[in-house]
A and B are shown apart, each in its own frame.
Chain A
Amino acid sequence: MPAIEAHHLYKVFGRKGREGVRRLEAGADTDELKKAGLTPAVIDASFTVEEGEIFVVMGLSGSGKSTLIRMINGLHPPTAGHVELYGENITAATGKDLRRLRRERISMVFQHFALFPHRSVIDNAAYGLETQGVAKEERRRRAHEALELCGLTGWDEHLPSELSGGMQQRVGLARALAADTDILLMDEAFSALDPLIRRDMQDQLIELQQKLGKTILFITHDLNEAMRIGDRIAMMRNGRIVQVGTAEEILTDPANDYVAQFVADVDRTRVLTASSVMEPPAAVLGAEQGPRAAHKLMREHQLPAMFVTGRDRTLKGYVTEDEVGRHLDQKDITGLMKPVPDFARVTPDTSLADLFGPAAETPAIAVVDDAGRLNGVIPRITLLAALAAANESEVTTSSETETVLTPDIDEMKEAVRD
């Protein structure tokens, strides 16, 4: 069951919000409503967040993302539509039910930390447990654990005002984690922090998520942050969700010009992965084949070297044309085969930025999955072409890379001769 389901959420501020929703459904645009004194903050937002996912809502200020996140835990009632948390309708819940859902299901981290200045750090962290009615000793113990988990030890009895911004947000995060809810809402949680601390917190959040398996709905206006931590990203503009997808999907296949323009400045080499630029190997040699077959294949494809795989496509090693040519009379190729050095094998989700180092050392990188199977190869020239395409903010297609394959062969020959 999905953790969060948002169904056609609308938030229109103004006296006749409902009428505003009807007009929006009938096709009216934001400007028309503004003339009528209505402010549409969120328009027809629907999305699903799966359990254990980090879902990022990305938009500039005024795009409605803060209003959206507040409708998820009922701080703002939607004008239309509803939200379900694990199948339970929180929008319809009132009073006691609403408070129970908030205690058990969903906690929140705020942009400006929203710590209680009159309570010590540990009492802040224990607040969620306090509303849950957990006994004092127990909640202090669990709050202390949460603080340690967030890298904050020895500050329990201090007041929040004695802590730096980054530390205060750790308290905010600990407060949300101590409540031990399934879902964590994070409203621009790192936006008020210095860039270095922000990066640190992002890493820590990803680490914590992997350890604890929480479902996280994260709001940000920083695209790099969204790309860094989000499993999936919802792009918001003027109250509407314009695209939902993984970082790579949004980069390589933007839904409209707005998104395309927005992602133009992203450092693609950090987002795109080896699997998105690799190509199927032009020819692969089976380990059981002999040197003659190998020589023939390499001649046919004009390759100076090729990878050798087993029957189950696991990568065994590589052979060079020179070596094979000198030993055509041998029965088996295994004697001529050299192991692929570690730096030349990468996993499919290695980012492009991490491929440049290996590419400097070897003419072709092998992309190998966890089971050791060869998924594809990345010749040096393909990497350069992908980078060039990325900088032109164009989509890398296979036809483009094929046209640049020819010079690659000369280069590979040179490399092998060296």
Chain B
Amino acid sequence: MIEGTTPLTIVPPLPVGELFETGFDWFKDTFDAAFDAIGDFINSVIDGFAELLQAPEPLVLAIVFALLAWLVRDWKLAVGSLVGMVVIIGMDMWDPAMETLALVVVATLFALVIGIPLGIWAARSPAVSRILKPVMDFMQTMPGFVWLVPVVILFGIGVAGAMVATVIFALPPAVRLTELGIRQVDSEVVEAGHAFGAGSRQILKDIQLPLALPTLMAGVNQVIMLALSMAVIAGLVGGGGLGNEVVSAISTLDLALGFDAGISVVILAIFLDRLTASIGSRRPGHGRLRELRDRFTRTPADRTPARVS
């Protein structure tokens, strides 16, 4: 009788985790072959990209990165990037850094390819938005380490699992900020598109996406940052790159190695953040890329300043 009134037994045991596992096992058994194929595909894409980044002389690639920074922003970022990259080379972290960069770039692309259409869909349909919102909350608030367990079971130890976990963790901002960006577009401007007989695809392409671009780019920036942090964590499951170095630094208590890897992550993070942030904040069509294009496509005669502002 006393037992029956203790708080401990009022609530029956809930086997949430076990239920999840049972369902997951069935899932894995059914689609095992498919996951193997996907895993192989991801592995080859990331490995190929990493090898491509590692192929040239590190210093040459560092200069290319610096040029890229100058193109989208200014010479200050270019110099900063170059110094940062040289530091990574000096710490002998270049190869793992490029592996991580490859993982981050590919994971980001996957997250955007999945996330932006979902965000557009959510912006157009309140029902989809209502369903996606809790799913996104779930994906984002679940501790990153937890995602490592199912992906290892599905894909085994290696880069493929690491990338899938990274995509899951980095996806939500792509969806959320795309939806937000499109919803923020002035409804009267969208109405104007309709009033002049534009179809919904034209309105999306010519009005909503260009006007949502700054918010969308903020989403891309967030995705990259989350992908980078997750890519390091994914070193635990054989993600390779800087994550690997961090894991081995922990297991051997090697402070020097830990710092070298950590600083490399910070440098990569700052480089990627500044690069994408400046793409997003720029006024459309007013960048250095446009200037260069104008310079090379126009004849000298009409190279007169087209913009007075």
Contact = CB atoms under 8 A, between A and B. Distances in A.
Contact of B308 (A114, A128, A158): A158
B14 interface: no
Interface stretch (A104-112, A207-215, A305-313, A341-349): A104-112
Contact of B207 (A102, A106, A116): A116
Contact of A75 (B189, B194, B309): B194
B199 interface: yes
B188 A102 contact: no
A118 B192 contact: no
Contacts of A100: 197
A343 to B, nearest CB: 48
Nearest to B211: A118
B156 interface: no
Contacts of A159: 309
A315 interface: no
B306 A132 contact: no
A340 B203 CA distance: 64
B309 A114 contact: no
A170 to B, nearest CB: 15
B188 A158 contact: no
B188 A110 contact: yes
A115 interface: yes
A75 B196 contact: no
B40 interface: no
A132 B191 contact: no
B238 interface: no
Contacts of A115: 189, 192
A103 B196 contact: yes
Contacts of A162: 309
A70 to B, nearest CB: 8
Interface string A326-351: 00000000000000000000000000
B255 interface: no
Interface in B185-202: 186, 188-189, 191-192, 194-199, 202
A112 B188 contact: yes
A162 B309 CA distance: 8
Interface string A104-140: 1011101110111110000000011001100000000
B181 to A, nearest CB: 13
B216 to A, nearest CB: 13
Contacts of B206: 116
Contact of B195 (A102, A117, A157, A158): A102
Contacts of B285: 118
A179 interface: yes
A131 B191 contact: no
Given A112-B188, A157-B306, A157-B307, A117 B196 contact: no
Contact of B198 (A106, A118, A131): A131
A117 to B, nearest CB: 7
A102 B191 contact: no
A73 interface: yes
Interface of A: 70, 73, 75, 99-104, 106-108, 110-112, 114-118, 127-128, 131-132, 157-159, 162, 175, 179, 185
14 contacts: A99-B198, A106-B195, A107-B196, A110-B191, A110-B192, A114-B191, A114-B192, A115-B189, A115-B192, A117-B211, A128-B197, A131-B196, A157-B306, A162-B309
Interface of B: 186, 188-189, 191-192, 194-199, 202, 206-207, 210-211, 284-285, 306-309
Given A73-B195, A116-B207, 5 more contacts: A103-B197, A111-B188, A116-B189, A127-B196, A131-B198
